[in-house]
Amino acid sequence: MEQQILEIDISNWQPTGANTEWIAALEAGKVLYFPRLAFALNTAEQRFLTPDARDPKTRNISLDAAGKLKGAAGDATAQAEMAAMVGRFREQARTLINAILPRYSASLRLAPTSYRPMQVETRAQSWRADDRRMHVDAFPSRPNYGERILRVFTNLNPEGLPRVWRVGEPFEQVAQRFLPRAKPYIRWQAKALNFLHVTKSLRSEYDHLMLQLHDGMKSDLDYQRNAGQVTMPFPPGSVWVCFSDQTSHAVMSGQFMMEQTLHLPVARQYDPDASPLAILTRLTGRALV
């Protein structure tokens, strides 16, 4: 399998000069891996490196686009400090993306920043929600009509444990394998889901097919075992970036991760033809949004 991870040896969140090789790799669905780009916690913040930082009633801690912290345990002071920590990661992630992908800058839409203090290996989940199975990201309730999902991850583990991912085959191969098995898009069903508020807006055929790829991949254990893939242990003190709607990925183990999601219109890519929307449109031969 072609190399799916591009290692970039910089230690500065604001490198100068966009590098066309990095851009092409990212837009081809590869992971940009920065082994020396550490997100530093101060001494006081290190007390948040415990699963108890999270309100047990929620899945993740997140800082929404308006700057409000959700899902955190602790008193108001602790929560304000945690919001500052997550907010600082948000700013560093944005600085990095703006520096290496300047064409995106004006068009990025900020989504929540999440802090995940739970151990991956021991989390019990249904197969559909289980991110230990390789998948491309697709969200059942939030249709996005092809808008891209760009994500910046960092491993904060204080015990030296890596966050172990599997990275699978390129999106076009995923699509070629799973499109023929996808259930057809049925417009009245999409309308019913919208009417019932199962979705926040009308699910497009693109959104339907992305969910079919997501579910097709996760439900196929033979594919999970035998598809082309590389196992990648991201060490603490590293950052990695990918379009998670395009990169086939799974998380196998690890604890303490922060992640920033940014959305980008396809038209603002350097090469819109590399997008999942363009690939699925080409493979199906019809407009999907």
Cα–Cα dist 2/24, whole Å: 14
Judged by beta carbon, residue 163 or residue 208, the one nearer ligand AKG is 163
Instruction: Indicate which single residue of 90, 94, 133, 163 sits in contact with ligand AKG (rule: CB under 6 A).
Output: 163
Cα–Cα dist 263/27, whole Å: 14
Q: Does 275 bind ligand AKG (CB under 6 A)?
A: no
**Stretch of 49-57, 70-78, 98-106, 243-251 lying at the interface with ligand AKG (CB under 6 A):** 243-251
Q: What is the DSSP string of 43-112?
A: TGGGGG-SGGGB-TTSS-EEE-TTS-EESB-S-HHHHHHHHHHHHHHHHHHHHHHHHH-TTTGGG-EEEE
Q: Does 131 bind ligand AKG (CB under 6 A)?
A: yes
Site string for Fe ion, 126-165 (x = CB under 5 A): -----------x----------------------------
Q: Which of 5, 28, 102 is nearest to 276 (CA)?
A: 28
Q: Does 130 bind ligand AKG (CB under 6 A)?
A: no
Q: Does 207 bind ligand AKG (CB under 6 A)?
A: no
Q: 90 contacts which partner out of Fe ion, ligand AKG, none, CB within 5 to 8 A by kind?
A: none
Q: Does 245 bind ligand AKG (CB under 6 A)?
A: no
**Stretch of 27-35, 77-85, 249-257, 265-273 lying at the interface with ligand AKG (CB under 6 A):** 249-257
Task: Please identify which residue in the block is written with the tokens 């076009």.
Answer: 172
Distances (CA, A) of 32 to 25, 150, 241: 8, 11, 5
